[in-house]
Chain A
Amino acid sequence: MAGRKIRVLIAKPGLDGHDRGAKVIARALSDAGMEVIYTGIRQTAEQIVTAAIQEDVDVIGLSCLSGAHMTLFPRVTEILRNRKAEDITVLGGGIIPFDDFATLKKAGIKEIFQPGTYTEDIIQYIKENVKPRQ
């Protein structure tokens, strides 16, 4: 089954309602030929992982602007590990201070995109680093 599209779940963990960026990313990835599922706001880490597994995605893009990323992002990767789904690439975005990058990457977040990032660069990153599962 050659040429399966890259499947991406864009998710908003936690309580902030700032979804402008998440929706822009979802649309941009979709226009770039990926299959994108957007969870909507106020999702728990459990809901996000469950949706990712059910939808058989290759990538999860987490968007958080509330300041709770240091709790919420590692929780997602931890649940992924517990459910043997750590092959899903997890990316982060939103208001993430540069100083938090190292801790988040250690927790399994592959890359973090800050405000001002071009959607083109995110698309390129995913195409270069994620192989769609067959």
Chain B
Amino acid sequence: MLRFHTQTAGSTLTLQQPDNNVVRVAFQALAAVLGGTQSLHTNSKDEALALPSESAVRLALRTQQVIAHETGVADVIDPLAGSYTIEALTDEIQARATSYIEKIDAMGGAVKAIESGFMQREIAESAYQYQREVETKTRTIVGVNDYKMDEPPLKDILRIDLEIERKQRKKLERVREKRDQGRVNEALAGIKKAAETTENLVPHIMDAVKFYATVGEVSNTLRQVFGEYEERV
């Protein structure tokens, strides 16, 4: 069985008329369920304006719950089975995906295709074409290039208090003062040693965090061994 997770598309959310995003997310989530997804993330309607507010996140969750309990689509395995359009589109996706995979295999596989920048270019090209279509109005985005209206900026958005950073730094300082630094150093050295081999890193990372090593310290230790991903641009 193919198990898959679905997230609604953040790139389709608009700052203009943000309530429209509730509708977009609902349709996308419904499509995911109709397609048989096992796991689903629904985006919040205000994500083109700010980090999402509590109420927007709740509405995104409620969208899933309405689909689950009120629409009936989750009562059967494959509600669209036998639909000519869906079956034909599925066949087309399959055929085009297969030819894509063959093309990537011919390049030496997915890792090679990423290293050569092929996949990144394909994604960027598709994003650029989408934007061209929006700007030339060959693709209609409701509220952005059609059905526009004047509206005041959405008021009810999440504010990030800059105090949060100072408080978090203080908390971190206190953790560092209280923990057993010898134990932390030992555990980090254990991570480093394991990272130089093919050994499973998880038990070593668990040791380190039990002694209150920070995510930053664990990551920096791994960075010493593995280096950092550098984007080819």
Contacts and interface: CB of A to CB of B under 8 A. Distances in A.
Interface residues of A, number: 23
A41 B231 contact: yes
Interface in B112-130: 123-124, 127-128
Nearest to B124: A23
Nearest to A37: B233
A21 to B, nearest CB: 8
A3 interface: no
B165 A97 contact: no
Contact of B131 (A28, A40, A41, A95): A28
Interface in A27-51: 27-28, 38-41
Interface in B32-50: 47-50
B233 A38 contact: yes
A130 interface: no
A115 B233 contact: no
Contacts of A27: 124, 128
Interface in A16-31: 18, 20, 23-24, 27-28
Contacts of A98: 153
7 contacts: A20-B127, A24-B127, A70-B160, A98-B153, A99-B159, A116-B48, A118-B135
Interface of A: 18, 20, 23-24, 27-28, 38-41, 67, 70-71, 95, 97-99, 114-116, 118-120
